[in-house]
Structure 1
Amino acid sequence: MQPEIRRATPDDAEAAAWCHLLCWREAYDGLVDGAVLAERTSDLDRRIERWSHALGEGWIRWVAIDPDPAAGVEDRVIGFAAAGPARDDDAPTPLELFAIYARKAWWSTGLGARLLEVAIGKEPASLWVLEGNQRARAFYRRHGFHEDGTRVDEPFFGVPEIRMVRR
């Protein structure tokens, strides 16, 4: 059974916050110092507040809903994506993919490609990815993105990020 992908509503804030933190734990395990990752993914209330604020302000976020109707709140949202106007002063494209995540159990199922399609379609876009996240970089390359040589130190997790661009 395929997960439903739809625009998030304020009612999704708690489940989306759970997904956000759990995706970070799963995707960044081994890429981010364990103590830093644990600390940065421990504040569920703050993450719920951020999701509630964004959705209440009308920001567009796409969520993938677990097809299992018995899934609890922490497993109801199994992936999400967000895009919007590029934030970089030297933005190579007008559109930026801000985030795309899927729970580990859904990796290699096509869910990431579906989320990418609803978030940006085939439009030119840029994104930032942890430099060491080879799995994500390979995913983006399969969808036409290439490293543009721009690198920054990402302050939240304390690891380098690189920019990828699809023209």
Structure 2
Amino acid sequence: MTTEPYAIRLAVPEDIPAALQMKLKSWEEAYGSQRPASFFANARAALEQQGDWWIRGLAQGAELWIATDPAGNIVGIAGGGPAADDDSDTGIGIELQLLYVLAADHGTGLGGRLLEAVLGDRAAVLWVLEHNPRAHAFYAKHGFEADGRIEALVDDWAGLNEIRMVRHGAQRG
């Protein structure tokens, strides 16, 4: 399958409810074996509050990229922003903060197109779950390398770790 059927554009406030629903579905697909059902129920219950937060972010200049299929359904989202202070040791100022594509659209090149929309070929840092080999391979294909930093997650994500991956400059894959 090629990526031509997908349109990628910046989100507008009206896109946020559907984008959050898509993100939750992606979480269920990717993390269903790593989180209890109550995790997803809690996330579903918080969608309206999250939506308000995301809409405020867009109003303040945050960028969220969405990918839609020919029917207009959101099938992927991605966003980035300034790297967290904790990542200042990398010397990189941009963080890929989220990138989700529905499982049915994996392998189409859509994730790479969303990554390109957010970062281009700039240096960047990202955090990814330690036990997510598909994501590790995807990011490695696009020039990111694990740098050895691991952090334990807290709250709803407690019991899982994230690893930091960095890309120093132009995309290599």
What is the TM-score with the length of structure 1 in the denominator? Answer: 0.89
Aligned-residue CA RMSD in angstroms? Answer: 1.5
Query: Any conservation in 2 of the 1:23–1:102 contact (CA below 8 Å)?
Result: yes
SS at match of 2:85: coil
Letter in 2 for 1:162: I
The answer to whether residue 55 in structure 2 is matched with residue 52 in structure 1 is yes
The answer to whether residue 164 in structure 2 is matched with residue 163 in structure 1 is yes
Task: State how far apart, in whole Å, the 1-side matches of 2:148 and 2:42 are.
Answer: 27
Task: State how far apart, in whole Å, the 2-side matches of 1:54 and 1:19 are.
Answer: 18
**Matched residue, 1:143:** 142
1:9 shift after superposition: 0.7
1:145 shift after superposition: 0.5
Gaps of 5+ in 1: 70-75
**Matched residue, 1:104:** 103
Query: Any conservation in 2 of the 1:95–1:126 contact (CA below 8 Å)?
Result: yes
Structure 1: 4+ residue segments shifted above 3 A: none
SS at match of 2:148: strand
**Matched residue, 2:81:** 84
1:24 shift after superposition: 1.1
Once the two structures are superposed, what CA deviation does each residue of 1:54-74 show, in whole Å capped at 9, x if it has no partner? 2232211100112125xxxxx
Which shifted more, 112-121 or 88-97?
88-97
Letter in 2 for 1:126: V
Which shifted more, 17-26 or 133-142?
17-26
Gaps of 5+ in 2: 169-173
Once the two structures are superposed, what CA deviation does each residue of 1:11-32 show, in whole Å capped at 9, x if it has no partner? 11111111111111111122x2
The aligned length equals 160
SS at match of 1:41: helix
Task: State how far apart, in whole Å, the 2-side matches of 1:148 and 1:40 are.
Answer: 32
Query: Which residues in structure 2 correspond to 1:1-150 (within 5 Å)?
Result: 1-30=4-33, 32-43=34-45, 44-69=47-72, 76-91=73-88, 92=90, 93-150=92-149
Task: State how far apart, in whole Å, the 1-side matches of 2:50 and 2:28 are.
Answer: 14
Task: State how far apart, in whole Å, the 2-side matches of 1:106 and 1:114 are.
Answer: 12
Distance 1:161 1:40, change over 3 A: farther
Query: Any conservation in 1 of the 2:67–2:74 contact (CA below 8 Å)?
Result: yes
Task: State how far apart, in whole Å, the 1-side matches of 2:67 and 2:100 are.
Answer: 10
